[in-house]
Amino acid sequence: MTKKAVVVVGSLNMDLVASALRLPQKGETIFGESFATFPGGKGANQAVAAGKLGACVSMVGCIGCDSFADNLIASLKSNQVNTDFVRQVGGSTGTALIIVDDEGANTIVVVSGANAECKPRDVDRALEHFTDPGILLIQNEIPRETVEYSIRSAKEKGWIIVFNPAPARQIDSSLLPFVDIIIPNETEISLLTHSTVKTQEEVAAAAQKLLDSGVKNVIVTMGDKGAICCNEFGCQQVKPYRVTALDTTAAGDAYTGALATSLAEGQSLIESMDFAAAAAGLSVTKKGAQPSLPYRIEVEEFIRKQERVK
């Protein structure tokens, strides 16, 4: 089977994770139950998710000059991600400070560090390496200039653009016609479209605003309610798999990486969403970002054994 290349342009962070019975309120100090460090960053997480699932994936981004950088590169390489396009710069590697409660909910503060140095030239260096266009994944944890350049430049070269607009921030509307698939969650699509998004009908209405702006396909991820895909043919919901969540930290990244992997193998968008739902569902049953991302054999076995939410 011939696979398209998957190139991820994005962040590399070290996640500093504290577990607590509940999330603290503003100004409150609480006692935690455990602490651990995990390789993370939305870009690196999506690359590792794809690598573990068998994609031909390369990472584009920046790391600093510290021990975190070495650990992040080691994690990428051990999960079959090409790191030739990861550039080392001065200063600190990106970090994320994460608190996870006993129901799996989390709060996250990201310190960009070296991710702020990811430049358009890093994208050019990567894309020049490939003879045939593939799938480009990108998020919002690197400079806006680089996000916008990546989308325009890759699309002009014939790449399929998959944009995960997280963390949420406004998008230049002229960029949207270059996007083949945008994957916001409910909070992100609410911000992008200035819409109230509480019901499935409101999700569909907000998605239509993005379609009207030129996006080809809108996939709204809704946690334990699954995901909805909207395009010119209408809206279709893909139900989630039934799981008990332990840590939701990288669920969205698992979903996006799995979706790209399946699309790169030639599967349809709905088939790819189903595969992504299984990968994301499995990921929340484990702690940590990259350590929670499942391997292909795990996802296939999970699909065979698990039941869907009614």
Catalytic residue among 15, 122, 247, 253: 253
Contacts of residue 86, defined as CB under 8 A and 6 or more positions apart, other chains included, come to 12, 59, 60, 61, 62, 63, 73, 76
Residue 253 is a catalytic residue: yes
Nearest-angstrom CA–CA distance, 277 and 259: 9
Residue 177 DSSP label = G
Q: How far apart are CA 161 and CA 94, in angstroms?
A: 25
Residue found under tokens 């600093």: 64
CA angle 296, 297, 298 (to 5 degrees): 90
Cα(161)–Cα(197) distance, integer angstroms: 25
As a whole number of angstroms, the distance between CA 118 and CA 85 comes to 11
**Inter-residue contact 161 to 180 (CB < 8 Å):** yes
H/E stretch holding 277 reads helix 269-283
Torsion of CA 258, 41, 162, 269, to 10 degrees: 20
CB 268 within 8 A of CB 236: no
CA dihedral 179, 184, 187, 191 (to 10 degrees): 0
Kindly list the catalytic residues.
253
